[in-house]
Amino acid sequence: MSDSGLRIIVSGLIAQYPLGGVAWDYLQYVVGLARLGHDVYYIEDTGQWPYNPEEAGTAKSCDYNVRYLREVLGRFGLEDRFAYCFPWGPTWHGMPDAQRQDVIDSADLLINVSGVLYHPGNYRSAKRMAYIDSDPMFTQLKVAKGQHELKQSIDQHDVQFTFGECLSERVPSTGHHWRPTRQPVLLDQWKSTESTRRTYTTVMNWTSYKDIEFNGARYGQKDRQMLEVLDLPGRIGDVHIELAIASGKTRRPPINRLRHHGWLVVDPDEVCNGFDSYRDYIQQSRGEWSVAKHGYVAGRTGWFSCRSACYLAAGRPVIVQDTGFSEMMPIGEGVLAFDDVEGAADAIRTVESHYDKHCKAARAFAVEYFDSDKVLNQLVEQTMNSPAKHKSGCEVEQ
């Protein structure tokens, strides 16, 4: 790597889903890499019609989405370093066409976060391309079940990373070498101050997509896991847990049933939809409590949420369902894992008994494991030291 750094492109979903949590997920890559001295650009080319929260559905145009993207990047002085492709036409916004193509052709590295690029082969002029699987178990299941376009998309990349740090034997083989990585967090953007609420919170989707069946087993979503801990509020005394829960895409959350069992339920569109309100919601919480997707748990993937990492950076203890990450990181202070409802209750009682200690441990955990400098330096080094494909992308590292 030269003193001036690399020219790096990051792809993501900031404009596609202009929501606070989504923006933070991808923005921390862009800003983190820029802070390391790299020449960073953001290109969003998903081939999908964008979502407009003001219209509560699919956007009729991309005006809102482009404004949102420019504003978010502008907070970090990156407002002139993006290109967004609106599928109607298609038409490009942001950088002029000639500049965008020059950036692509001269890029040292393209990081395809969540594998969202519509045609990654169009970007093979970049010297290296890295695919980041943010949905472990389900990505591999889809490939194993014959989603050839997904496999071909993954094949186009020189290196494949996954948030599944310890994929078990239940995770199907795809013919790729999946390297573990973690979500980068901009530590200075998350304030470790005294919480203003006495409530544990989380932000979640009830379901993100349909369950997937494979080899006689069904791998589900968070709804399946929530129903197994339904009576948790009755086991933890006067401790409250609030779910900022979005309506499921395949099954709607049973709001009245959840409230009957003592859960506080709010609409994320009202409490944490924006870039700032999402961060405020986390920082003002007492901590996070959350289940994981059933597939993450059943596959013992080692997945750990980027949202949870932000809670930790804000000095908020995290109590989350174990997906196998307890085998990869030392837990027990700041981060506590549970497998069942009684384990969840015990973890809450443990945190409450020494709350200040767990807050300090939470921040220290984020510094050790999710600091964007550490995570992104390792990601870049591993990718740039990997074999490059031919421009056709026909070689696949096994």
Digit-by-digit pLDDT tens for the chain (398 residues) are 445 699 999 999 999 999 999 999 999 999 999 999 999 999 999 999 999 988 866 777 999 999 999 999 999 999 999 999 999 989 999 999 999 999 999 999 999 999 999 999 999 999 999 999 999 999 999 999 999 999 999 999 999 999 999 999 999 999 999 999 999 999 999 988 887 899 999 999 999 999 999 999 999 999 999 999 999 999 999 999 999 998 767 789 999 999 999 999 999 999 999 999 999 999 999 999 999 999 999 999 999 999 999 999 999 999 999 999 999 999 999 999 999 999 999 999 999 999 999 999 999 999 999 999 999 999 999 999 988 875 544 333 32
Count of helices and strands (H, E) across the chain:
14, 18
3-state DSSP percent of the chain in helix, strand and coil, to 5: 35, 20, 45
CA distance 217 to 2: 49
Which residue type is seen at 397? Answer: E
DSSP 308: H
Q: Which of 233, 156, 184 is nearest to 29 (CA)?
A: 184
Q: Which residue has the tokens 């056709």?
A: 392
Task: State the pLDDT at residue 1.
Answer: 40
- DSSP three-state, residue 214: strand
Long-range contacts of 326-331 (CB under 8 A, 24+ apart): 327/166, 327/302, 328/165, 328/166, 328/180, 328/302, 329/304, 329/365, 329/369
- DSSP three-state, residue 150: helix
Task: State the pLDDT at residue 185.
Answer: 98
Contacts of 213 (CB under 8 A, 6+ apart): 219
- Where b means 16+ CB within 10 Å and e means fewer, 232-258 reads bbebbeebbbbbbbbebeeeebbeeeb
Give CA separation, 349 vs 54, 306, 336, in Å: 40, 24, 11
Model confidence over 25-68: pLDDT tens digits? Answer: 999 999 999 999 999 999 999 999 999 988 866 777 999 999 99
CA distance 372 to 10: 14
Instruction: State the burial class of residue 58 (Cβ atoms within 10 Å of its Cβ: 0-12, 13-18, 19+).
Output: exposed
Model confidence over 331-343: pLDDT tens digits? Answer: 999 999 999 999 9
* Cis peptide, bond prior to residue 90, ω within 30 of zero: yes
Q: Which of 220, 212, 109 is nearest to 161 (CA)?
A: 109
Which residue type is seen at 54? Answer: E
Task: State the pLDDT at residue 4.
Answer: 64
CA distance 27 to 43: 12
As a residue count, the chain comes to 398
CA distance 367 to 313: 7
Contacts of 45 (CB under 8 A, 6+ apart): 11, 83, 84, 85, 117, 118, 119, 122
Which residue type is seen at 235? Answer: R
Q: Note the pTM of the prediction, 2 decimals.
A: 0.95
Task: State the pLDDT at residue 193.
Answer: 82
Task: State the pLDDT at residue 322.
Answer: 98
Strand segments, DSSP code E, in the chain are 7-11, 39-44, 51-52, 57-58, 82-86, 91-94, 109-113, 128-133, 159-162, 178-180, 199-205, 212-214, 217-219, 240-246, 264-266, 287-290, 318-321, 335-338
Which token pair is 5?
């750094």
Torsion angles phi and psi, residue 113, rounded to 5: -75, 125
CA distance 200 to 243: 9
